Amino acid sequence: MKVSEKKHSSRRQGARLSENDLKTLLFLGNQRLLKTQQLYMYRKAIEPNTKENSFSEKVRRWRKDYQLIKDHEYTLGIDGFRYKYYRITKNGVDTLIQHGLLSSSWDDVQISKFSDITNIDHFLGTQEVVIRAIIDNISIEIESLVPNQYVYSDKMNPDLKLVQPDWILKLGDLHLNIEFDTGNENLSVIKDKVQRYIIYCKQNPNERHVVFLTVIDESFRTRKNYGSVRNKRVGNMKNTLFYLNDLNIPNLTVYILPLQRVHYVLNNVIRGLQPYSERMKRIEPNTVFTLLGEHNKYFEYTVKGLPLHSVYEKSNINQEYQADFAACISNKSGTVKENVLAVLTEEGNAQILDKINNLSRLALENRFDIPISKILVLYKETHQRVNDILSIDAPNVLIGDIEELKKNINKEPIFYMKNGLYTAMKGVTYEGQLHSYA
């Protein structure tokens, strides 16, 4: 978009708007309501040399002198902290229409209703997720869609609205659906919402959908205290989806994450790094077993890969609950020999957690064709393992991260176990004993 500076009508005499000024106003109009800091984050992304003080002064002029935007004040409470948030005005819309950046249909939009949003924590928290995604990927063309203008309807009954996300980011056929959670919804409502996403995705197999159920945390200041540690809320939301029919359909991925971690996974999805490909799910566990069996002299076991069909062929286990890799592990003397399944996991991925939970249960119930002693859950990076909320209590699940296993190639490998839904992972040896340097 190339826009020359021009002076506007006498009503806004003296207002001269650069190309980036117009982009910033357009962004505010599309996002409806934004905090000063959120506006500044966007402006900084498109114009890196922007100074916060000079931008704040520009916003003041837009508001006070030219009435391009309207401000509202939000007070957080007894500490006196407050901030402003803004919406575009009719004057601002007229300016964007004059420059061909908005269609004349915006003349019929009731701009003042943008201010009527009552749950401001929820709305601005949603915008925090959206803006971080846009500015972190500013070179990628991402559509930012207002949900009430882009509703997911039932294909069999178009008048029936199946689900309306809090916001939608779109890249081609990939839909990133932001669902912001303040903890007020019952878990049964969360489950029903995911079920409706499943119905929609089954009806529209050519669309790819990723749902980000984002739980508010202390990284976003609000008037109400939602709690500083949200592990239990995140974990309960994940666990309520266990055994949900068709949860693992191929064109739907569900992540459940606290607000301060969602940007990491969201950026990876936008950049095509997640969800992990089937090829990566095979290669990464194979790399780990090769690393342990052939290159780490402190891992006193031999590793032999097993064909996955030897585990599932007769037991009729659904494909979505099949592991990514299988191996037989035995000690040098041959006195220990056990079969292990491995799963490459992703931080926040509710479907993979459902798979791990099922694999653990099936192994304990001896439901496989061969006895399975352990389920090895692997993260690619240490920070994923450290920050994930793996809300299961499974005695046969051993956890590792590939980054740490590679880094400690000349030490006894360290794994992790949990002994409660929300307990911290404890470092252990492969045998499950407390590790000496964990």
The pLDDT of residue 82 is 78
Q: pLDDT tens-digit profile of 1-54?
A: 333 334 344 344 446 899 999 999 999 999 999 999 999 999 999 999 999 999
Average pLDDT over residues 126-155: 95
Pick 147 or 403 by higher pLDDT.
403
| Helix orientation angle between 90-98 and 19-31, rounded to the nearest 10 degrees | 130
Average pLDDT, stretch 308-325?
88
> pLDDT by residue (tens digit) across 170-217?
999 999 999 999 988 899 999 999 999 999 999 999 999 999 999 998
| pLDDT, position 221 | 76
Contact 342, 307 (CB under 8 A): no
Average pLDDT over residues 333-343: 91
Q: Give yes or no for a contact between 171 and 185, defined as CB atoms under 8 angstroms apart.
A: no
* Preceding peptide of 165 cis, ω within 30°: no
pLDDT mean across residues, the chain: 91
Q: Residue 14: its pLDDT value, please?
A: 47
pLDDT of amino acid 42: 97
Predicted pLDDT at 10:
35
The H-or-E segment that residue 191 falls in is: helix 187-203
pTM of the model: 0.93
Q: Comparing 13-22, 205-214, 278-287, 369-378, which segment has the lowest mean pLDDT? A: 13-22
Instruction: Report the half-sphere exposure of 425 (CA within 13 A, side-chain side).
Output: 24
* Stretch 152-157: mean pLDDT: 94
Strand, coil or helix: 270:
helix
Q: Is the pLDDT of residue 98 over 50?
A: yes
Segment 400-415 shows an average pLDDT of 95
For the segment 64-77, what is each residue's pLDDT rounded down to a tens digit?
A: 999 999 999 987 66
3-state secondary structure of 380: coil
Q: Which residues pair with 337 in a beta bridge?
A: 330
By percentage, how much of the chain surpasses pLDDT 70? 93
Name the one residue in this structure whose structure tokens are 């007769």. 314
Q: Residues 343, 321: contact at Cβ < 8 Å?
A: no
pLDDT-based confidence at residue 224 (cuts at 50, 70, 90): confident
Q: For helices 350-364 and 231-239, what crossing angle results, to 10°?
A: 70
